[in-house]
Structure 1
C-alpha cells in the first residue's frame, strides 16, 4: 500500500445536507484505517468533471452516468442499515 494521498469525492443530489453526514463518516473511517485522503463534497452533477485525479466517488444518490473511477453508493449512511459493509467497500477501493 502506498502513502500517496487519495482523493475521495462525496456526492449527493444537491451537494449539501446528506453529503455532510457522509463526508464526516468517510473522513472518520479513512482516518481509523490509516488512509491519507482528501475528501471533497460535491453535487452529483459535478462528478463527471471532477473525477480526474480522484480515486473514488461516494454517492448518496443514484448515479446518472458511469465514471472512470470506482464508485460506492452510500445510501446506508443515511438509512443506518449496513453501514459497516459500505465502510469496507470504501476502504477496499482505496487500498
Structure 2
C-alpha cells in the first residue's frame, strides 16, 4: 500500500497543527495507514500540494487545492470528532484505491 504524504496546516504551523498532528498520527496508526506527516503554515499549502496526497487544516482554507483538503476543527473542539475521523479514513481509502 502506498505511503501517503499528509500536510497538517494551521495559521502559523505551530500550535493547533501540533495538536491535530498527534490525533491524525494516532488515527492513521489505529487504521494501519502508512503516512508521512508534514506540519506547515496554511500559506505554504499551495506550494507543497504537488508532493502531497491530503491536506488537513485547522484554519480556513484560503483557496482550492489539487488534493483533497479537510477542515479539522472538530479535533480541537471535540464536536463532531468521530464523524471527522470516519471522513478522513474513508477519504484516505479512496486515495489509496486511486
- TM-score, normalisation: structure 1: 0.95
Picking from 69, 72, 76, the partner of 1:71 is 69
Structure 1 unmatched runs, 5+: none
Structure with the higher helix share, 1 or 2: 2
Secondary structure in 2 matching 1:84: helix
Return the alpha-carbon distance in structure 2 between the equivalents of residues 53 and 73 of structure 1: 20
Distance between the aligned counterparts of 2:3 and 2:13, measured in 1?
23
- In the aligned structure 2, how far is the partner of 1:94 from the partner of 1:54? 12
Q: 3-state SS of the aligned residue for 1:4?
A: coil
3-state secondary structure, aligned to 1:34: coil
How many residues are aligned here? 93
5+ long unaligned stretches in structure 2: 94-98
Secondary structure of the 1:77 match is helix
SS in structure 1 of the partner of residue 50 of structure 2: coil
CA distance in 1, matches of 2:31, 2:62: 30
The corresponding residue for 1:29 is 27
Question: What is the match of residue 50 of structure 1?
Answer: 48
Aligned alpha-carbon RMSD (Å): 0.7
Which residue in the other structure is 2:84 paired with?
A: 86
Tell me the TM-score normalized by structure 2: 0.92
Distance across 1 between alignment mates of 2:65 and 2:39: 17
CA–CA distance in structure 2, aligned partners of residues 23 and 77 of structure 1 = 10
Q: Distance in 2 between matches of 1:84 and 1:8?
A: 19
